[in-house]
Amino acid sequence: MRPFRLSRRAVLRGLGATIALPVLDAMLDDRGRLHGVAHAQGMEAPVCLVTWFFAHGTKMDAWTPPDDGARWTPTPCLAPLDAHRGDLLVLTGLANPAPELLSSVGGPHSRGAASWASGMPTSATGAGGPTFERLAAAELGGATRFRALSVVNAPEAPGVESGSSAMLTNLSWSGPSRPAPATRDPAQLFAQLFGSVRSDGSGGSVLDHVRGELLALQSRVGRDDRARLEEHLGAVRDMERAATPGAACSPGVAPPDATLPPPESARLLLRLITAALRCDLTRFASFALSNALNNSPLPWLGLNDGHHDLSHQDDHDTIVRITRDAMEHAAFFLGELAAARDARGRLLDRCLVFISSEVSDGARHDYRDLPVIVAGRGGGVAPGAHLRVAPHTSICRLYLSLLQRAGARVDRFGLDGESPLALP
């Protein structure tokens, strides 16, 4: 009997609801490739490219491993990532030349943020070019529902230094002076990705409205696919409950407005990004743990002064505590990517996650010797090492390398990005 084949674009549909599906065996052809899909440059599995931003730098003496190669020693800042060290490349020596140029416009954080991931000097209206994940999405993102996602774990805020306010609240740019619209609320992102409950006010879960299609699909796929469906839809229900606080207590009534604390909001947004990548809704995403100039307090760390103010007080131990908190969020995301499995294996194995900040030292606004991590094995990267490059090597060479590893046909990017940085 001919095996049941399912389109990669298949979704579960109901009244006012759409649920994306993870990659299933039924979507693969006899060679293990997505059925009917030709990937860029003949790659068996498309690479997912993610940028991950944390603000105001760190203390590099507590970040940089003292030893190179595979036997690098975890430092105080990187300790939260120790469980994932086999999936990490820690890079030392990279610099962003763009915000140092006299022609760049804006305050130190505006310039650093708008040049972060774009590698271009800024103007009065924003970044001088696209961020590298958006450039990849423009070429390679047409096969998915969303070319790219931009997610920021903070409300939009007005600028407080010279330059466009968009430079401080957007870390993803589609082109010169064109910030990519960012989603900032978990409930909004959930609805954007997986649909919402019926608009007639009847409430309920999105899963309730696709139950008929779900039962029909479960009857046609194999045992492993049924297990993957159950796991995926359970995760969707968990995220739905987390994104709509109070809904379970007041059925039939729209949930009240509720603001999650930043740590909880960040984790939910990161789970939703993972779900979007796993379901092949997109292969390109940008995540910012906060706005680029963040002066909110951090009460979960016992810190009532604003983050930006603290970065200028030069309190070494406090800055290390804040960085460790950021890396705990990064470790959470990498754990989600590693745990997300489909018919092709671990999601993290086909991801490239670029983790960095707009400056190395927040008090000095230093754009050299930036804190940089690349996580994942997408494009054949072999992680698990501390890689020290020549001092002041342009970070645009890394961006070019990541673009090429993702399958983009590009031979230069940003300032001094004419040759790709060699990655293991």
pLDDT at 103: 87
Dihedral angle computed from the Cα positions of residues 113, 115, 116 and 117, in that order, rounded to the nearest 10 degrees: 140
Q: Is residue 100 part of a domain?
A: yes
Q: Is residue 5 part of a domain?
A: no
Q: Is residue 2 part of a domain?
A: no
Q: What is the mean pLDDT of each run of 10 residues along the chain (424 residues)?
A: 58 57 65 45 74 97 96 95 97 96 89 95 93 97 92 80 75 94 91 62 56 71 74 66 43 45 94 91 96 94 95 93 98 96 85 97 94 97 97 97 97 95 96
pLDDT at 237: 66
Domain that holds residue 273: 47-189+261-406
Q: Is residue 213 part of a domain?
A: no
Q: Is residue 20 part of a domain?
A: no
Q: Is residue 34 part of a domain?
A: no
pLDDT at 72: 93
Alpha-carbon gap, residue 38 to 32, rounded angstroms: 12
pLDDT at 199: 37
In the block, residue with structure tokens 């915000």: 99
Q: Is residue 226 part of a domain?
A: no
pLDDT at 139: 95
Q: Which residues have a Cβ under 8 Å from the Cβ of 396 and sit 6 or more positions away?
A: 96, 119, 413, 414, 415, 416, 417
Pairing of strands 341-342, 345-346: antiparallel
Q: How many structural domains comprise the chain?
A: 1
Residue 380: give its domain's CATH number.
Answer: 3.40.720
Q: Is residue 253 part of a domain?
A: no
